[in-house]
Amino acid sequence: MAKDLAGLAQIAGIQSGATESGLVLQAVGIQKRFGAVAALAGASLELRQGELMGLVGDNGAGKSTLIKMIAGSISPDEGSLLIRGEPVHFRRPADALASGIETVYQDLSLVEPLSGTANIFLGRELLRSGVASRLLRLIDKQRMRARVHDVLSDLGARIPSVDSPVFELSGGQRQALAIARAVLFGRNIVILDEPTAALGVRETAHVLEIIGRLKSSGCSVVMVSHNIEQLMGCADRVTVMRLGLTVGVRTIADTTPEEIISMITGVSGSPSE
Ligand SMILES: Nc1ncnc2c1ncn2[C@@H]1O[C@H](COP(=O)(O)OP(=O)(O)OP(=O)(O)O)[C@@H](O)[C@H]1O
Ligand SMILES: [Mg+2]
């Protein structure tokens, strides 16, 4: 297992690149309005090298808006974003990808009729070696298939065939493919928006195992979830948002589901009477 994870880190080209304080990502005082709606009214999020940060909040709290901002698909009205201590201004998703951030949205953005391998390498296909092959842009399917196979096996993901069209795969298998895509292209910050929301019990356990391996390989992960019990079992810390604001950060070992829920709702837990 340790060898697998070292291999995974090598495939991913993961380097820590963290600041002295160990922070790989900092979003500070983020504000974003959509017309009259203040979706974010001073949201903050920080992520340490190699940690799994849960991001929780009620419906409409601003979690997805914050994530879209970190993914470069919307820009903030106010606030700053720092990656490994350096201020960044993402104008488009490609800017976030270039900074090593991969975001796996709930719909996964996979192309249904294409195979798992084709989806992973979409737009970044490996070409066959040789001048003529390169000029003709001949795709090296064998090499792509082998690399996908290596990453999936290091992640412990079970997919019947990387050649099958994605519509034949289950929700958990699709999630595994999307995570493999992040690893293969060396993203060291991975953001997962409700990765297990649509999954059954067994698939949820399998995806959580894959996320655990991703983290052990050196990736830093933000995971949005409405499932507090699940985060208590897999996250290191949790950031709580309410009405567009970050209302607190807790270390999992020092908190309880009750405390998190009272932070989400803004209603303090009733003292035992
Ligand atoms: N493109 C948009 N245009 C207008 N309002 C928006 C837009 N995107 C988000 N909002 C609003 O911003 C607020 C925050 O939405 P967001 O999707 O970030 O919440 P969330 O915490 O992800 O909620 P959920 O748990 O339901 O996914 C909501 O009031 C939402 O209606
Ligand atoms: Mg959302």
Q: What is the DSSP string of the chain?
A: -HHHHHHHHHHHT------TT-EEEEEEEEEEEETTEEEEEEEEEEEETT-EEEEEE-TTSSHHHHHHHHTTSS--SEEEEEETTEEE---SHHHHHHTTEEEE-TTTT--TTSBHHHHHTTTSPPBPSSHHHHHTT-B-HHHHHHHHHHHHHHHT---S-TTSBGGGS-HHHHHHHHHHHHHHTT-SEEEEESTTTT--HHHHHHHHHHHHHHHHTT-EEEEE-S-HHHHHHH-SEEEEEETTEEEEEEEGGG--HHHHHHHHHT-PPPPP-
Which residue out of 30, 40, 64, 105 has the highest number of ligand 1 atoms within 8 Å of its CB and is therefore the one to mutate? 64
Residue nearest to atom 18 of ligand 1 (CA): 62
Cα dihedral sign for 250, 252, 258, 264? positive
Residue nearest to atom 10 of ligand 1 (CA): 39
56 vs 39: CA distance, rounded Å? 15
The position carrying tokens 């790989």 is 24
Domain ranges of the chain: 2-112+187-265
Q: What is the pLDDT of residue 3?
A: 47
Q: What is the pLDDT of residue 6?
A: 53
Ligand whose nearest atom lies closest to the CA of 35: 1
Q: What is the pLDDT of residue 17?
A: 57
- How many CB atoms sit inside 10 A of residue 92's CB? 12
Kindly give the distance from the C-alpha atom of residue 62 to the centroid of ligand 1, in angstroms, as a whole number: 6
- CA 4, 8, 11 angle in degrees (round to 5)? 135
Q: What is the pLDDT of residue 7?
A: 55
Task: Please list the residues that pair with 256 across neighbouring strands.
Answer: none
Kindly give the distance from the C-alpha atom of residue 248 to the centroid of ligand 1, in angstroms, as a whole number: 20
Q: What is the pLDDT of residue 187?
A: 80
The stretches in the chain having pLDDT less than 70 are: 1-20, 106-109, 133-134, 136-137, 269-273
154: tokens are 């290091």
Which residue out of 32, 37, 240, 264 has the highest number of ligand 1 atoms within 8 Å of its CB and is therefore the one to mutate? 37
Q: What is the pLDDT of residue 14?
A: 47
What is the homologous superfamily of the domain 2-112+187-265 according to CATH? P-loop containing nucleotide triphosphate hydrolases (3.40.50.300)
Residue nearest to atom 30 of ligand 1 (CA): 60
Listed residue (33, 43, 25) closest to 79, CA to CA: 43
- How many CB atoms sit inside 10 A of residue 247's CB? 15
Q: What is the pLDDT of residue 75?
A: 94
pTM of the model: 0.84
Residue nearest to atom 24 of ligand 1 (CA): 59
209: tokens are 């195992």
Residues with CB under 6 A from ligand 1: 34, 37, 39, 57, 59-65
Q: What is the pLDDT of residue 91?
A: 93
Residue nearest to atom 26 of ligand 1 (CA): 59
Ligand 1 atom having least distance to the Cα of 32: 12
Ligand whose nearest atom lies closest to the CA of 105: 2
Ligand 1 atom having least distance to the Cα of 62: 18
Listed residue (172, 155, 175) closest to 108, CA to CA: 175
